[in-house]
Structure 1
Amino acid sequence: MSDQNEPQQPKEPESGAEQTPASAAVPAQSGKKAERPSPRPDVSYTPVSNGMDYLVSVFQHLTEGEKPPGARDLKYAVLHLQAATEVLLKARLSHEHFSLIFQNPAEATHETWESGKFKSCGTLDAYDRLRGIARLALDDDSRKRIKELGESRNALQHYGLTHNAYAIESRAVKVLDFLLTFINRHLIPGLDGAEAQDVERTMQAFRLQLKGIETLVKQRMNALQSDLAKVTDVTVQCPDCEQWALVTGNGEKGLTCLFCDQDWRDPDFTATNYVWIVLGLDDSPQDGGDPSVVDCPECQEPALVPTAVTAASRPGTSPLCFSCGATFENLIDCEGGCGTVLDIAPDGESIPMCRNCIDIRYARF
């Protein structure tokens, strides 16, 4: 009987048998199945994190690419800024009640809300409901800028847009400034602790980046100051970029904003856009009020804005003709009732009527 502790010798292969290499030892198999790789994570964003992610993209396109941002960066900055604005306004609106997000709140149900299969209100509707129902202190200027941003987004998304890069960047800065204030004042206080901390950390980076973008705008304006200082009495806020750089008074040569280089060829058209976009007025009289654009007593062109605000007069008004650049201190309405505006000194000697009304009234004499 052999010793059990003696090592066993390998058997010699039988004669003529083919030799094959010994197979590698196979590890013992446990009863547990091999774990599969983890599946890809779900796409999961809360409304707030979704809006903040859009803002991250906006700042990336405005600050991390070429300097100044190129056309592609500005395009995506506009698209994602509008998306961020819509999402974050609605996120705050939902804190009041989920039904306010619906286009028609009367049709809202909790089941539909949870499914997400409903038509929501527009961005401006959300803004108005935040102001009218939630009673947030939101102003008309911010609403106007959000409206303009939405129009630019729609143009880019649906039928293309050709617009001045400086104007787009200037507008973006103003909406970003509004959004950061809105998030800090109206959104963060209603978030739970963890989400509020996440948003606040992101906001710290945003504030630093916004200063950099604002610096680009200020640097361009500073470079124009020496030229603009000579024409403050005929310089107004540009309807396109909102900078105080639109110099009026070039007549048929047209008007050009020195900041955004927008060419406003027709003074009459420019005056109409100015009162509508900048002053927020209609260019025609409402309810018996005075018209916003009238014929100029100096050049007779329909380009005089009686309530214009110039760089020299702000915050006060200064009647200004966008065509000839004339300014007036003694404008009065013709007492003949024809609607003509006159420039007559209050000396008591001049007849406060236009020539046509004088001829009609005194024709019998």
Structure 2
Amino acid sequence: MQSLNLQYNPRIDQLRWLAATIVFLFHFQLEYRGLGGPALATPWAGLITEGHTGVGLFFTLSGFLFMQIALHQGSIVYRDFVRNRILRIAPLFLTIFLVATSIGRDNFQPQDILYLAATNLGHAPTSGTPVTGAAWTISLEFLFYLVFPFLARFAMEQGPRYLLGLLVLMGFFKLSAYTVNDNSTLMYFSTFVGRFDQFLIGMLAAMVYRQHRARLHAWAPWLLLAAAAVVVCDTAALHRFAPFGATPKSGFWIFWSMAESAGWAAFIVAWVSFEPRLPAVLERVLCHGGKVSFSFYLLHMALLHLLAKYVGRVSPVGNGWVDAAIMGIVAYGLTWLLATLSYRTIEEPFLQMRRKYGTDRPVHTTARDTVH
């Protein structure tokens, strides 16, 4: 997706596509198992069975991209930054929220409107059904947007040690919260305590990339293989020791989000540093997938639910795994078409209203100039 504040990098859109695809595969395999299909039992399939890790990639990538923009621009005009973020997420998010409140009209309470700012907490209308369930991440993401210009300012003034200090504090909050929360796994999965560190790690990765760019580009192929291995091992370990939904309280989750995000941050830096271009057709397809990834993410659960309810499990060849692949490809293609329609009718008209929020000042600007 083109930005007014940083030169377009197709690698970022390709990573958005990857994150949305991983989350899709996670929910698809859950639906397929629910229809009686075979389960992926090996930990080495953790990238799918624990495919919620795509959300961790989204949060880490957001921190990385916005810190890149801050380092490039040197300062951010706060009101314009927030305006752009509202134009980016509000139209589709409000649409999903209205769908959720329409579904739950009989139980709706006026105070439920406040869930617009907290879809990740309590009994938000969007969490009532799988049709709108993916929207829980949006309130968290917007919270990170609200504080990002200040975080960027302090990080550029004090260097990476500022972000490292915040990560130490987040580790303390995670550990202490574990002792008093009986459903700590869900807390780490869907709240500030569990996710803010991922945004910070993404920001830190952007600062590392800027400082060591030449060296990272030289070693990118090897770094990419190593980072991919770390991500696979991370999800395999989670599948083996503390799979999501298996237990409401597990010490493994205390620092899981940091480990997860560290793996994804390494992958992001390696992929952005990797210079060989993909085949032109493949690159266009993946970049389009990144462009429509927000719609893809918010709509895929509704489409999978409809297919499960009205089509069910089909067996065109009689082999469970081949049938799963065929069903997955069909569902993915339909979601792709739906996301493209949503992007062009709901998202794109508002995206064209965005404006530049950087001030093109060097990164060493004084404190008073960095956030307005």
The answer to whether TM tops 0.5 is no
Instruction: Give the helix-richer structure, 1 or 2.
Output: 2
User: TM-score, structure 1 length as denominator?
Assistant: 0.24
Which of 1 and 2 has greater Rg? 1
Instruction: Give the strand-richer structure, 1 or 2.
Output: 1
User: TM-score, structure 2 length as denominator?
Assistant: 0.23
